[in-house]
Amino acid sequence: MEFRHLRCFTVLAEELHFGRAAQRLAMTQPPLSLNIQQLEADVGARLFERNSRGVALTAAGLAFLPRAQALLEQAALAAREARDVGQGLAGQLQIGFAGTVLYRGLPQVLRDFSAAHPKLRLALRELSSSEQLVELVHDRLDLGFVHTTRVPAGFSQILVSSQPFMACLPASHPLANAQRLSLDQLRCEAFAIVMRAVSPDYHDRILAACADAGFEPSLAFELRHWLSVVSVIARGLGVGLVPAALQQAGLPSVVFLPLEQALAPYDTHCLWRTGRDPTAQGALGAFLAAVQKAAPPG
């Protein structure tokens, strides 16, 4: 039994006329009759009565019709879903992201992409940049939003955002009303910082900036998330150097001040395995196009 047999059967069952059915199927009557005969042989029962008055469904044909229609509908649905996946209109993407991306870059991409591709499911996992690299290397993520320059060979990337570091102080701090700060003014302070195991690039960059200013910071808190760093500072337990986007977190009792000595910016990259050709994987290609559209020019 073939789908062409079912198609011939259902059209003839709707028309009950060989001429009209053959016209709808873009064929002549002899091949239509042959398809019906082959189907009846496969089923093992006559599906139509043919007489001088026309064509009528037999009891077997009436019983077979809804099942045949269901099979054709399921085949059409399967083909449509496969086509949508191939064209990037359906499917699922596993996406990793570091927490600060929620304040810069990622929300716009997700809004625009979800509106344009409602059948595509995005499964998002919050992971540190180091954790994302492990998952990407083992193909457990399709792409990731990372803050690191330590990108392994075989990966491509798009710069999503670039932002300055700012001094973060408790609102009650004596320097809270300053227009800007030099790092030297923080030499005697207790620092809150992201752990090196979580974000080695920026942990080392902050320590190097303090060293350039002539001091080694006292690390009172080493935390897993930038938001935790700001939360500790909000409780008056230290100071820190944090990405500017954290101003959008809306935490009370902290201030963010520009630095006189600008640190290298805090960059976010969208990262994916180069070998996973986005043009051959519709969902990935469609998402990367949305990322590229939201990326800063240049």
* Residue 35 CB contacts under 8 Å (≥ 6 apart), including other chains: 4, 5, 8, 9
Question: What values do phi and psi take at 153, rounded to 5?
Answer: -65, 150
Q: Residue 37: its pLDDT value, please?
A: 92
Check residue 153 and report its DSSP letter: T
Sign of torsion over alpha carbons 165, 98, 204, 226: positive
Edge-to-edge strand list for the sheet holding 155-163: 119-126, 90-97, 143-146, 266-273, 155-163
Residues of the chain with pLDDT under 50: 279-280
Q: What is the pLDDT of residues 60-115, one digit of tens each?
A: 989 999 999 999 888 877 776 676 666 555 578 899 998 888 887 688 888 888 88
* Residue 262 burial (10 A CB sphere; 0-12, 13-18, 19+): exposed
Q: Using an 8 Å Cβ cutoff, are 259 and 165 in contact?
A: yes
Q: Using an 8 Å Cβ cutoff, are 184 and 215 in contact?
A: yes
Q: Which residue matches tokens 């990407």?
A: 136
Instruction: Determine how β-strand 90-97 pairs with β-strand 218-223.
Output: unpaired
Q: Residue 72: its pLDDT value, please?
A: 86
**Closest residue by Cα to residue 156 from 168, 143, 147:** 143
